[in-house]
Structure 1
Amino acid sequence: MSRVKSALSKMEGCLMQARGRTVAVLMPNHFNASLFRTIQECMVGAGGSVMIVGFKKNEPLTDSTRKEVLTIDIATDDLRLGDYDALVILDSATPEEMIASKENLGLISRSYEHQKIIGAVDRGVELLVASLGSLLSGRRMTGPAESRIDLESSGAIDVDEDVVVDELFITAKTADSAERFCQILLDIFQARGGLAA
């Protein structure tokens, strides 16, 4: 009986890896709906929550197929450091628009300064480069072919792997690696124990 209880306890621990944790998702317009749903289901299933961050609260965002609409939960400027434990930057077909926002870059910079977990999927890594620049020098990261020049210009080490972790940075080459990306995020939450800084 004790073995059964132990197994159940371990299972519950895995399922609740994100209990009390909030992931702020920096969301572009024309987002990848499948990617977002994977992150959302992963977090909620592990006891956590997801907050959609964008230019303006309550503004609608349309997915890349124009079939799904989500609403921004909080404006980038209004997001406080205590509101979230990790920042995830989603892929964008037009990252230039996201990069042009000083608010987006400022949020990434503040998250880095306060040792938040920062994740980027696909071309989301380009926002990391635009915000942090040479601070990424020597960091192991991955991204799609389109982002390779950006990564190398920052001094980051471009690693040809689906998902790469370097301390509190998690990068995924494409949206196809979303499930593995999410599991690694949960593992980091569990390893950090209490609330993130």
Structure 2
Amino acid sequence: MKVGKLLYTAAVAMAAQLACAQPQTSVDVTKAPGKATVAATATVTATVVAIERDTRTVTLKDGKGKVFEVEVGEEARNLDQLKVGDIVTTEYRQAISLSLEKTSGPRSETQRMIEQRAALGAKPGGTVGREVTVMADVVSINAKAKSVTLKGPQGNTVDVIVEDPEQLKNIRKGDQVKVVYTEAIAISVSPGATQ
């Protein structure tokens, strides 16, 4: 398995465990003629309360007192730099950008991995994610429901809500549009308060 996939798998597993820690979330929506973007961010902060170096298990406690364990994979650098009392901040970000710009060519999908690991000797942390760009065909437009049905490269269809009715005026059945989906998880560790 490639390092990028290992990092991504580890980050997703950690995100699933941290999701139970009641994250703070925010959602941002931006609109422009022919384009709309929705981005959501969830942030969880927890304190390291125990470290089992042999099993690479870190026990964390969130602000509400909930305690949970996270297994840290071998691909994560610098576990030896982590100390009890350190603050672990995890930020999970998802965004989808629908560009109702006309394009040409076959339906397609491309994927780009995003990864940045902590430098050797630094506190553990890093960012891993992916960006998927899909060129899709417009199958139908429902102005009343403010939706567009898109057909992707594998032949699957999806209905997308378009909040701004002005955006629907620029496209027709048979046009192609570009959809970009990104998701990333960033983990950082900072020293806890000195006692």
TM-score range, shorter chain: under 0.3
TM-score scaled by length of structure 1? 0.24
* Structure with greater proportional helix content: 1
Larger C-alpha radius of gyration, 1 or 2?
Answer: 2
* Structure with greater proportional strand content: 2
Return the structure number with greater relative CO, CA threshold 8 A, min gap 6. Answer: 2
